[in-house]
Amino acid sequence: MTATATRRPTRNGGRRLVDMVARVRELGILAALAALFGVTGAVNPSFLTYGSLRDILLNSAIVAMLAVGQTLVVITRNVDLSVSSVVGLSAFGGALVLADNPGVPIPVVIAGCVVLGAACGAINGLLVGVAKVPALVATLGTLYAFRGIDYAWAGGRQVNAADMPDGFLSLGSSSVLGMPLLALVALAVLLVVGWMLRNLRAGRELYAIGSNPEAAVLAGIQVRRRIMAAFVANGALAGLAGVMWAARFGTVDATVATGKELDVIAAVVVGGVAIFGGSGTVYGAALGALLLASITSALAVLRVDALAQTAINGALLIAAIVLDRLLALRVAAALRRRRFRDDH
């Protein structure tokens, strides 16, 4: 009984320490956003106009939603490189159905794209969770496979805004109380997934798998099932993001979202989600997406060369990975010291 009583505070203290580190990372991103908006607004006041802020929210909404789904996968020590191809496949599929079948209800098309994305996620989940193929290799393969299907399906065709119903296109431009509808959808997804990760057993088990997969198996966690579920949920959100992309931009072909997976992973890592799994939050990932979109807009306003923008994003990614590693070492050292004090 005594041994149990002494071990429990250590685990609770360790969890509180990890939560505190996550909050510090998120507060750091908020501080960086405040500094970015303050400095850029002082140099060019047009950066702080409603139109500019609205564009930033629209530009970050799709990446933020993809970052939320990617977080579910990354915290299990995996990664999904195929999200951009899933977005492209669902965007073209949804746009094509709406263009060729004007009478189809929009909610049915949205649901179909989500199901299509979930099916792609299930393929990744089977390869990684069941067949034990390394996630990097499996999802790199499906990135090309899904994109190839997209090209074959499109056959060189491009769906334009004039081919799609106005009711669908309005989803990409409408606002509610001054907030873009797409940003509100991304916010709703963020809040729901964030709550589930923190309060449901399935969410906590994803963190346990990422922290120590072998210990998770010994604890009776259905590791394969949870990894499969993470990939399916990520695919479903990528399917929804594809619909958002089609509504936002109107013109859709087989090249939609090519290369976007790198922006998503950058947002996740910059947002404080450990690339080695086991820690991080969807809130941080969404803030990372907002920060990267804001930096891109700020550099464009300041007329910085596009190549420099890419270099700055790369530098941020490297800095975030280094910071993650340093924080992980500090947390591990602090936990070891606490265990030593509890044992003695």
**Which residue segments constitute the domains of the chain, with CATH numbers given?**
48-331 (1.10.3470)
For residue 299, CA distances in Å to 55, 61, 302, 308, 309 come to 14, 19, 5, 9, 7
Taking alpha carbons only, the member of 342, 190, 160, 331 closest to residue 251 is: 160
What pLDDT is attached to residue 16?
60
Q: What distance separates the 2 farthest-apart alpha carbons in the chain?
A: 73
What pLDDT is attached to residue 23?
64
| Cα–Cα dist 161/247, whole Å | 9
Cβ(96)–Cβ(159) below 8 Å: yes
User: Which alpha helices (H) appear in 155-259, and where do they start and end?
Assistant: 166-169, 181-199, 201-211, 213-218, 223-249
Cβ atoms within 10 Å of 46's Cβ, excluding its own? 10
For residue 135, CA distances in Å to 78, 82, 218, 231, 322 come to 6, 10, 22, 10, 22
| Cα–Cα dist 341/128, whole Å | 40
| Cα–Cα dist 16/337, whole Å | 15
Q: Tens of pLDDT along 47-64?
A: 999 999 999 999 999 999
Total count of residues recorded for the chain: 344
Give residue 143's identity as a one-letter amino acid code: L
Q: Tens of pLDDT along 32-91?
A: 899 889 999 999 999 999 999 999 999 999 999 999 999 999 999 999 999 999 999 999
What pLDDT is attached to residue 300?
87
Taking alpha carbons only, the member of 89, 72, 107 closest to residue 280 is: 72
Taking alpha carbons only, the member of 282, 276, 272, 267 closest to residue 323 is: 272
Kindly give the parts of the chain with pLDDT less than 50: 1-11
CA atoms within 13 A on the CB side of 316: 25
Look at phi and psi of residue 176 and say left if phi exceeds 0, alpha if psi is from -120 to 50, else beta: beta
